[in-house]
């Protein structure tokens, strides 16, 4: 036996479709689930076709939201709905997904069967963050066009007096596709910003307006729980473009400024932290810190120690009459010198 001295690995490209559905995890969360040619379906669980069917039949994946319940849409908002009209039930949706798999894999070859991985007694799960893409041919007869990866967010596209929940796919060449429509709308960044100015692309929907979700159904907005301002969503789009180009996002810039302040707490670095924090879209400010403190520590440095009162751990401890938690942060050296 000769022991090899060079390690290798290969990546496998598996095509798929992204389709709308709803996850019921206490509340109702709108999602795009990814269906792949090997029979795997990503619906927050990523196992195999048999497990996906179980997820639908047990009500983890649902195809409608009852009237007077709320739909939550990541990064966009939450709305109580009424007059819901939905395309699928559990069995018809399973059949639909099977049809999509057959389109991708007509002979159903090499269908994946899930086997739980256990390493040193620890169960190892998997995730499937599918990459949305467009094809770019290098020549007219290019049989293997380049796949240009993009990132996406949710927004509403107004047509007449109705609203369509669209998937806004942003590409590094400053082109944008509005998908999850019967026909995809192709725009440039400049055209996209103009649609926002005209009120055609929006992040908020008025009460009593009808919302259509292509491939899932429709409903009427009964009440807004909360919604993200469209100006903040545009900042997010510009951030995505920076990341696609390999540049740091506003969140990464803020994290760097935060660490710079901790390493050298001066008034100048405090001001730099403030300007970088305020450049982050409001709905993403929670990500500048860790999972525990969110943006509380950053806000304490910028706006004062009273910001700790907005920390969930602090509020819970106070409500229970327990010892209040603390976050120790250095004051600017310039202030202490004064």
For residue 337, pLDDT over 60 is answered with no
- List 27's β-bridge partners, or say none: 25
User: In the chain, what percentage of residues exceed pLDDT 70?
Assistant: 95
Please report the pLDDT score of residue 145 as a whole number: 84
Beta strands in 112-174 (DSSP E): 117-119, 122-124, 132-136, 146-159, 162-170
Bridge partners (DSSP) of residue 220 are: 82, 210
Confidence label for 139 from pLDDT (cuts 50, 70 and 90): confident
Provide the mean pLDDT of the chain: 92
* Tally of CB atoms within 10 A around 313: 14
pLDDT for residue 338 is more than 60: no
pLDDT of residue 128: 63
What share of the chain in percent tops pLDDT 90?
A: 82
Say whether 306 sits in a helix, a strand or coil. helix
For the purposes of burial, counting CB atoms within 10 Å of the CB of 205, is it exposed (0-12), middle (13-18) or buried (19 or more)?
buried
**According to the model, what pLDDT value does residue 144 have?**
79
Is the pLDDT assigned to residue 31 strictly greater than 70? yes
The pLDDT tens digits for 253-288 are: 999 999 999 999 999 999 999 999 999 999 999 999
Q: What is the pTM of this model?
A: 0.85
Average pLDDT on 293-300 reads 95
Residue 121 confidence (pLDDT) above 70: no
Of 147, 112, 96, 104, which Cα lies nearest the Cα of 17?
A: 104
Interval 249-253 mean pLDDT: 95
pLDDT of res. 119? 67
Considering only residues 298 and 335, tell me which one the structure prediction assigns the higher pLDDT.
298
In this prediction, residue 148 has a pLDDT band, given cuts at 50, 70 and 90, of confident
Q: Is the pLDDT of residue 115 over 80?
A: no
Q: What is the pLDDT of residue 9?
A: 84
Q: How large is the average pLDDT for residues 219-239? A: 96
Residue 132 pLDDT exceeds 90: no
- What is the structure's pLDDT at 10? 84
Cα torsion at 126, 129, 135, 138 (round to 10°)?
A: -70
């Amino acid at each position: 036996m000769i022991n090899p001295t060079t390690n290798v690995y290969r990546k496998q490209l598996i095509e798929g479709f992204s389709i709308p559905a709803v996850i019921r995890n206490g509340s109702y969360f709108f999602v795009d689930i990814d269906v792949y040619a090997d029979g795997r379906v990503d619906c927050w669980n990523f196992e195999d076709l048999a497990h996906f069917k179980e997820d639908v039949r047990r009500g983890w994946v649902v195809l409608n939201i009852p009237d007077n319940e709320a739909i939550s849409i990541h990064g966009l908002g939450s709305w109580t709905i009424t007059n819901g009209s939905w395309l699928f039930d559990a069995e018809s949706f399973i059949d639909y997904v099977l049809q999509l798999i057959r389109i991708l894999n007509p002979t159903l070859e090499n269908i994946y069967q899930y086997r739980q991985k256990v390493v040193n007694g620890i169960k190892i799960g998997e995730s499937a963050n599918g990459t949305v893409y467009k094809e770019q041919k290098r020549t007219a007869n290019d049989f293997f066009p380049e796949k240009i990866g993009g990132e996406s967010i949710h927004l509403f596209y107004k047509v007449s007096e109705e609203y369509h929940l669209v998937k806004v796919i942003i590409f590094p060449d400053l082109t944008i596709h509005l998908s999850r429509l019967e026909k995809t709308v192709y725009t440039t960044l400049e055209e996209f910003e103009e649609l926002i100015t005209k009120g055609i692309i929006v992040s908020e929907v008025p009460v009593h307006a009808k919302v259509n979700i292509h491939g899932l159904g429709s409903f009427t907005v009964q009440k807004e729980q909360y919604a993200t301002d469209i100006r903040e969503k545009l900042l997010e789009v510009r951030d995505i473009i920076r990341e696609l180009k390999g540049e740091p996002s506003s969140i990464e810039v803020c994290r760097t400024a935060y660490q710079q302040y901790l390493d050298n707490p001066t008034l100048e670095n405090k001001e730099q932290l403030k300007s970088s924090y305020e450049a982050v879209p409001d709905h993403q400010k929670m990500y500048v810190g860790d999972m525990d403190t969110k943006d509380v520590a950053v806000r304490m440095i910028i706006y004062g120690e009273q910001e700790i009162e907005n920390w969930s751990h602090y509020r819970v401890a106070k409500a229970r009459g327990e010892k209040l938690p603390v976050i120790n942060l250095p004051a600017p050296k310039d202030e202490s010198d004064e």
